[in-house]
Chains A and B, each alone.
Chain A
Amino acid sequence: MRDLLNLLLFDYTVRTVALGCAVLGAVSGVLGCFAVLRRQSLFGDALAHAALPGVCLGFVFAGGKSPAWLLVGAAVSGWLGALAVLGVVRGSRLKEDAALGIVLTTFFGVGIVLLTRIQNTGNASQSGLNSFLFGQAAVLLQRDVLIMAGAGATVLALVALFYKEFKLLAFDPAYGSTLGVPMGLLGVLLTGLITVAVVIGLQSVGVILMAAMLIAPASAARQWTDRLAVMIGLAALLGAVSGVAGAALSSLDARVPTGPLIVLLATAIVLFSLAFAPRRGLLWVGLQRRRENRKLAAAAVHGPGFNKAPGEPDYADHLGALGGVHRPTDRDAAPNAPIKERP
């Protein structure tokens, strides 16, 4: 433990990498909250995969591994991928999951083809380009980290500025647009910010696992709180902690890749949160259910004849006569849905 701390504080390389990974974890944690709440988790996945051809084209244009070109390429093609998903959903009858799958695989396929071609050109400077697949945090330089921090700070500032509008976008976009708040534009902006978050993470986590950094901290944070602002802060913290811990641990053993380790740590936090968070955790819910069942069993067994269940409305007996089971969610969800006629 002490060695780890020493490394983090005093080893230049480890410190740089850890800082970079902290920025990446915090930024993607914040934006992941909106992606998860809008049920667009896989949107980030498609976007990240779609960044690969951009990285390769950036390399071809720049004639070498110029970080700026690679990242600009990644952002542009990730963005195009996102637009392609929206285009397919709007312009065809395919549903969103199919559109995501098609765009993700197509862009990634193109990226792999380009990557393979570049690798076979014999251009010496291409070595390491394939690290964008799974990331290679160890190559992060202080300059990279500064760029990441700058971009990350801009992203976070915009989220703070448009917090109220993004919340509306995530909760009820149709209603939001009746208020005159430009939901379409805000959606585009949010997608842009997610693109930046993905690009920030490409070097250290890579295109394949990047989606986990959007989904995992946000999902874990949701388990512990019922307030959006707290969820966002917590997701940033959990993302940053995964980043730093992953960077530090992988620095102990060169055979352990940083990116995947960060992702595994973030996932471990999710599992822990799913199991043990109060109120929403599996353990809590299970105990609660057992307690309720005991109570219900006690109430149902005692007392003769038909017992009104606790909280049950008076029409329960009518439903019984119809042979129906009272499942309020069905009718609630589709109050107009036809009730099937019984023969």
Chain B
Amino acid sequence: MRRANDNGQHRASGAPPLEVRDLTVAYHTKPVLWDVDLVVPAGALCAIVGPNGAGKSTLLKATMGLTPKAAGWAHFFGEEYGSVRDRVGYVPQRTSVDWDFPTNVLDVVTMGLYGRIGWVRRPGKRDRQAALEALDKVGMADYATRQISQLSGGQQQRVFLARSLVQEADLYLMDEPFAGVDATTERAIIGLLSELRSAGKTVVAVHHDLSTVDDYFDWVALLNLRLVAAGPVEEVFTHDNLHVTYGGRITFLDSSVAPGLSDGEQVAAIPRSEGS
């Protein structure tokens, strides 16, 4: 249906992988995103952080047109999403599908190639090979023939990651990749993120664990209906910005608990004790 695109040409143009302007999204009449402006530079590992209901997932979905925009726009590599969707890989929340679906791991990962395979044709040997390689990257190669209902939460997450990896995209949009996963999966994802970064890819991930933001990511966007701040973690991930984002519903650890951070750049405790 579509050919693999010419990445080099787009890179040369220097347009950022993701640029969002004036983005507003409303469910019925209630706004869930208000006038969001965000630019994610190439090669960044960007965390989207904010309290429950802040619109983090909605931001990802709206950029790809999965949720209708009330106003504003999003460009990928300087173009409309429709003309560069090959370069964008989406990893939805793993709880968004029914894992009792009658299929196996390899088949789910192969779905990442359906757009490229095109109408009527069936996935071939090369497609299965690509899917196996992607599974190997997330440490799931041994599970290729496993029925998906037998996977743990972390394994489900890695299957979804592999499904987006076969797309060989340049930008990955991940919705809560670390949510409720086991330690093995967490390590696998961290390894994958750094691999993607060294390959020059860009990652934008919704993330809920504030204590790991500066370990896993180098760029952060703080979101609560509006964009509070966005930029390099060391500049933006500050007490003041977090305070604005979470509205005081947050307790801060003393900086002595988290050595390596200077004053005013404290690590926040997980703000789960309250919520909207």
Contact = CB atoms under 8 A, between A and B. Distances in A.
A88 B115 CA distance: 31
A338 B275 CA distance: 5
Nearest to A163: B122
A168 B114 contact: yes
A172 B97 contact: yes
* Chief secondary structure at chain B's binding surface: loop
A161 B120 CA distance: 5
Contact of B85 (A170, A179, A230): A179
A225 B150 CA distance: 14
A322 B182 CA distance: 20
Interface in B87-121: 88, 90, 92, 95-98, 101-104, 108, 111-112, 114-115, 117, 119-120
A161 B104 CA distance: 21
A333 B95 contact: yes
Contacts of A168: 111, 114
A175 to B, nearest CB: 6
Contacts of A334: 95
Interface in A160-197: 161-162, 164-165, 167-168, 170-172, 174-181
A226 B2 CA distance: 31
B179 A164 contact: no
A333 B96 CA distance: 9
Interface residues of A, number: 39
B273 interface: yes
The bracket for how many chain B residues form the interface is 35 or more
A339 interface: yes
A328 interface: yes
B246 to A, nearest CB: 12
Nearest to A171: B101
A337 interface: yes
B272 A338 contact: yes
B243 to A, nearest CB: 19
| Residue of A161, A328, A335, A338 with most chain B CB atoms under a 10 A cut-off | A335
A282 interface: no
Interface in A211-270: 222, 225-228, 230-231
Interface in B154-202: 163, 167, 176, 179-180, 182
Contacts, number: 108
A341 B273 contact: yes
A180 B85 contact: yes
Contact of A328 (B123, B163, B180): B180
Contacts of A174: 61, 66, 92, 96
B74 to A, nearest CB: 13
Contacts of B176: 335-336
A37 interface: yes
Contacts of B149: 226
B148 to A, nearest CB: 9
B115 A172 contact: no
B1 interface: yes
A228 B111 CA distance: 14
B126 interface: no
Contact of A335 (B82, B119, B208): B208
B4 to A, nearest CB: 13
A175 B97 CA distance: 10
A266 to B, nearest CB: 19
Nearest to A164: B114
B251 interface: no
Nearest to A178: B90
A181 B114 contact: yes
Contacts of A294: none
Given A168-B111, A227-B102, A178 B1 contact: no
A306 B101 CA distance: 38
A332 interface: yes
B275 A337 contact: yes
A164 B107 CA distance: 10
Contacts of B131: none
A302 interface: no
B103 A167 contact: yes
A231 B102 contact: yes
B16 interface: no
Contacts of B274: 338, 341
CB-CB nearest 7 A-B residue pairs: A338-B275, A179-B115, A335-B179, A332-B180, A178-B90, A180-B115, A226-B147
